[in-house]
Structure 1
Amino acid sequence: MRPNLVGRAHILKISATDVQERSSTCGMGGALKVRPDVVSSEWRRRRDESHPFLGGVIREAACALHDDPRVETWEGTHAAIQERMAAVSLHPATRSYAERAIANYLEAHEVLSAETPGLQFRCFDPKVFPEPSGTLTVWAPLYESPNGVREIRKIRLGGVRAKPEKPDRWTVVAAHVAGLFPPQGISLIRVVEVGLKDASYQVLFEATPEVVRSTFTEVALPYLQKIISADSVHPGTFCKDCKIAGCCDALDRWDGFLGQTTQGAATRSVSARDIELYEICPAQWFLTYSQFLPRKTTPGAASHRGRLIHEWIARAHSRRRKCTAEDVGAFREKETLTGPISEDEYAEIQPYLAQHVEVCPLSTGSQVISIEAPLYGYDASADVIIASTPDIILVDDDGSLVIRETKTTSREIPQDSAEAFDKFFASAWLLNLFASGYRGPYQSASARLELEVISTEESNVFTWDLSDAGVLRMARKEVRLRSKSWHRDTTWEANPGKHCTWCPVRSWCPEAETEDAVDADALD
């Protein structure tokens, strides 16, 4: 136990989700997650109470309607759902999704009940106590039939995923909890996945209690033990949910990064991309990154193209040498670096790659420090975890630290650094890393930020000296102004417009515009 932690470390509460996800993330974060009594004496994570937990709202409403006679008809089902949801405060788009999700769960339940006669809802979140100070649990509804079948359901906000060849750790732990839950005179344990988006379902695992126990010992127990004993520290996406993020030594101290004088409604995490998306539509950011509503999975043309280009450049730079014209030759030439992309995809991005070759930052004497490695820090003033992922950090021939960010566009390239700074928020964001205290893994007397902008016909690199106090003040002001609304927002109102056409969660938004207009490079 670290000095800033207090509480009974021997009390354990481990969920199926913990075993599935926490064994490969920050060791200390996972070890603390499964110790509910251990807290920091220095800092507490604040939760947003303005919006209820969506999954909990949906399942409680759905299971409460199992025995409601109105669900025998379509009209009655929707009347019952709307009546029950009337008392719940939800974002308009979240409400739209929730009402459909509840109806879909009831539809799937009807089919599953027909397959297992007598199947009845029993409880939420069954818990068992395999050790005196240990609890094993699963966030899921539990069902049971008179003939000894016990069914536990994994609820997904989207549709069901492709069934794995072997049951994953979540499934195995869920089955094990169902098997140990009293009374134990059951003959069959079944784990079923239900997709709330479309009423899809599938049986993930079905076995006798004996087989379930042996599978748990083989598949899940080693990972469970790893989580309990872990103590390594590794910043990542789980930091925003960690109980010691605000006092963890693994997070850089970037106090004042957002330039906000007060804390927001809750401990949050944010990146430059988050701010850009929020400025387009607060509701889209909220539905995507807070509520996690199902999204349209097909990316826009510009987004897909940009991803392919970034992946190609990262793969090329991983060789630690300069990109050459031979790397971007004809698709079938031996020297061409194509990787896993198709011939049509390569044909689309090849002109951009040719422009990158002209301004590739690597040279004979340069040293690559990191390629698309995420950086995390904590802004105590705002109570926000800051996330950044520079495309590449390197040391050039002269020993200077260089942060290079690459952007693609189908429009005209900015004429000068001022225009580039205004158009690409990533510039201000990365400059603000240095304004907030970040100095990188390499101590150098000189450092600069380079913004590489490439199109099909031209390229340019805009440069800012990271020791220039005026430049850093300019970056701090830009970040402060652009993050202010996001930091204070708790309503996440929609901002309908042309961007609705490519919005991945538009199907749930009652305010989405339907006109067929698209700004292909809105987030290019």
Structure 2
Amino acid sequence: MFDFGCADGSVTLLLDWGRTEAIERFAAHAAPAFHQAATGVGTQPGESCVECKAISRCTALPRTPQLWDGTPTVPARRRRSLSAWDLRLHAECPAQYHLVRQLHLNDLTEENDGARRGRAVDAWLNDRHAARPQRGCRDLPSPEESAIAAEFGLKAQQATEAARMLDAHKVLCPLNGTGAGEQVLVQHRVTAYIPELDVVVLAVPDLLSTYRGRWVWRETKTSSSPLWEGRSLLHSYPQLALAVLLFSAGALGSDPNRSWVELEHLREGRGDSRLERIDPGRPEIVAEAREVIAELAQPLLDDTTYEPTTGRHCHGCQARTWCAPGRAYTADHPRHPEPSRQAGITRSLHA
């Protein structure tokens, strides 16, 4: 089996199995999955809810009417999903959202150094937090830079930065001191349905865990710059606003007054990393979250043309290969180092 690159003509060998190995692998992996799919009767809300014909009778999918007081589109359009990533892409450029999320046309260029470093940190933390029996990272040994570089294909400088961020995480880990009976869900999909909009809302927090029965939604971000004082956390990170609304609407089946949404902002120095906490039980926080999501979601839901919006984001666009205006913009505006933001840390206004 080969993989052919339609854009660059590349050819990659994926599988080279003989008949015996193919039969053995089918029996070990494919047959159990097929049996589960054919005989399973459970429900698992997720992206498949978009095409599900039984959604009106499904009791496993939480209903969250008026999640952000959105307005139904006129004329009505087919059901679709919505995530914080969708909102961010559309806000940057509607054409990018359409090409990447709807047509699945991603650019073939490599990710930048910061993105690769962030993915390495995320993957390392996911493995640690998913280990059983569960334990916090505080007392675990720090990863070796060489091991990070080898496992994730990072340059030496990237591996050094990733190792420092992981070391900074050790004191911020939400599993430090967690009891044996607490729940820990890594990259767990949270799904909700807005009936009046016919929209399935999807969110995947980096970590969902309980602490003495209180649910904690943790988002982890890596950055070379400090948090910016010029905007609130909810406006800077819409995924936090969406988490607040899902808690407030009961999509996680927990009391928002006994829950927290957290942002773990990791930088190279342990003293530079921050943990910001948001209370989804405060009415003013819910109101701000509703405003943030409404400002992003309504234009996306109403959009029918997905016109490109060029700007500095074109340099990192995942679909620039397929966008003539984006290619023209980057040719006319070569990338320059961005000026550093004024040093400072966002105040914990939501704690």
**TM-score normalised by the shorter chain: which range applies?**
0.7 to 0.9
Partner of 2:118: 306
Cα distance, 1:227–1:412 mapped onto 2, change above 3 Å: closer
Of 392, 400, 405, the residue aligned with 2:219 is 405
Separation in 2, partners of 1:340, 1:167: 29
Structure 1 unmatched runs, 5+? 1-153, 173-215
- Please tell me whether the aligned partners of residues 138 and 176 of structure 2 are also in contact (alpha carbons under 8 angstroms): no
Partner of 1:269: 81
Q: String of CA shifts for 1:112-154, please: whole Å, max 9, x gaps.
A: xxxxxxxxxxxxxxxxxxxxxxxxxxxxxxxxxxxxxxxxxx9
Report deviation, 1:300: 2.2
Of 159, 165, 180, the residue aligned with 2:16 is 165
Q: Counterpart amino acid of 2:53?
A: K
Query: In the alignment, does 2:65 pair up with 1:255?
Result: yes
Partner of 1:290: 102
Report deviation, 1:283: 0.4
Higher normalized strand content (fraction of residues): 1
Query: In the alignment, does 2:57 pair up with 1:244?
Result: no
- The CA RMSD over aligned residues, in Å, is 3.6
Of 223, 236, 240, the residue aligned with 1:423 is 236
Query: In the alignment, does 2:92 pair up with 1:280?
Result: yes
More displaced 10-residue stretch of structure 1: 349-358 or 337-346? 337-346
Cα distance, 1:222–1:276 mapped onto 2, change above 3 Å: closer
Q: Counterpart amino acid of 2:249?
A: S
Q: String of CA shifts for 1:188-235, please: whole Å, max 9, x gaps.
A: xxxxxxxxxxxxxxxxxxxxxxxxxxxx99x99997776555433222
Report deviation, 1:394: 1.6
1:253 aligns to what SS in structure 2?
Answer: coil
Q: TM-score if structure 2 supplies the norm length?
A: 0.77
1:313 aligns to what SS in structure 2?
Answer: helix
Partner of 1:502: 316
Structure 2 unmatched runs, 5+? 340-351
Query: In the alignment, does 2:180 pair up with 1:383?
Result: no
Cα distance, 1:283–1:247 mapped onto 2, change above 3 Å: farther
- Please tell me whether the aligned partners of residues 45 and 60 of structure 2 are also in contact (alpha carbons under 8 angstroms): yes
Cα distance, 1:500–1:352 mapped onto 2, change above 3 Å: same
Report deviation, 1:482: 1.4
Separation in 1, partners of 2:100, 2:297: 18
Equivalenced residues, count: 316
1:340 aligns to what SS in structure 2?
Answer: helix
Q: TM-score if structure 1 supplies the norm length?
A: 0.53
Mapping of 1:21-60 within 5 angstroms?
none
Query: In the alignment, does 2:289 pair up with 1:475?
Result: yes
1:448 aligns to what SS in structure 2?
Answer: strand
Separation in 1, partners of 2:122, 2:140: 18
Separation in 2, partners of 1:408, 1:422: 17
Partner of 1:434: 247
Report deviation, 1:389: 0.7
Mapping of 1:460-471 within 5 angstroms?
460-471=274-285
What percent identity do the matched residue pairs reach? 24
Partner of 2:335: 517
Cα distance, 1:363–1:348 mapped onto 2, change above 3 Å: closer
Partner of 1:213: none
Query: In the alignment, does 2:176 pair up with 1:363?
Result: yes
Q: Which has the larger radius of gyration?
A: 1
Q: Counterpart amino acid of 1:389?
A: V
Partner of 1:144: none
Q: Counterpart amino acid of 1:235?
A: P
- Please tell me whether the aligned partners of residues 327 and 337 of structure 1 are also in contact (alpha carbons under 8 angstroms): no
> Relative contact order: is structure 1 or structure 2 higher (C-alpha 8 Å, sep ≥ 6)?
2
Report deviation, 1:377: 1.3
- Please tell me whether the aligned partners of residues 265 and 490 of structure 1 are also in contact (alpha carbons under 8 angstroms): no
1:511 aligns to what SS in structure 2?
Answer: helix
Mapping of 1:106-117 within 5 angstroms?
none
Separation in 2, partners of 1:340, 1:385: 36
